Amino acid sequence: MSDRRPLDWKKIRGPAPWAALVTGTFFGSGLLPKMPGTWGTLAAMPVCWWLAPESTAVKLAFWAVLLAAGTWAGKKFQDLFGVADNQNIVIDEAVGVGLTSLFLARDSHWGYWIAAFALFRLFDIVKFPPVGAIDKWSKNAGAWRGGFGVMADDLAAGIQGLVVLEIARHFIS
């Protein structure tokens, strides 16, 4: 569960804090007042669709770069605000839904794209095992807190969503 404290805008001074804000909030989508995780996931869907024609290797490389950027932004947020997983950090949702939609093509039926969104949000919110354990671990993992720990549970939720989506596609197609 993310921390719901509001951001102290006075602490965001200089290029690195601003870069962390833009990156961590996935270009501001995490700053919307209600359901920032859902908005961050929705903001990532056009990126997923845009990447769809690329090879799996290219898509994985792209999401790996965002994973690294999110890890950095999460740590920067922790340093600035003293919060391990601020609710406004939604780059983890972007990477998670990127994994769930990894094998979708641009011309995949729109229902599969909606399913990718819904499945990722389901696994991210409900935190079925092992996502819940990873989330709990990341909040109690010392140096991991605020960095990779922010990203870890969403990576697991993204993989769970990917597995369920691909099994469903196998039986539907």
Averaged pLDDT, groups of 10, the chain, 173 residues long: 66 89 96 95 99 98 98 90 85 99 97 99 96 84 71 97 98 90
pLDDT confidence of residue 145: 60
This prediction has a pTM of 0.92
Q: Which domain holds residue 101?
A: 9-172
Tally Cβ neighbours within 10 Å of residue 136: 13
The reply to whether 1 falls in a domain is: no
Q: Is the peptide bond before 129 cis (omega within 30 degrees of 0)?
A: no
Total of domains in the chain = 1
Two tokens at 143? 């140096």
3 strand-pairing partners? 86
Amino acid at 67: L
- Read off the DSSP letter of residue 13: -
The reply to whether 2 falls in a domain is: no
Two tokens at 21? 């804000």
The reply to whether 55 falls in a domain is: yes
Q: Work out the angle at residue 131's Cα, subtended by the Cα atoms of residues 108 and 75, and round it to the nearest 5 degrees.
A: 100
The reply to whether 53 falls in a domain is: yes
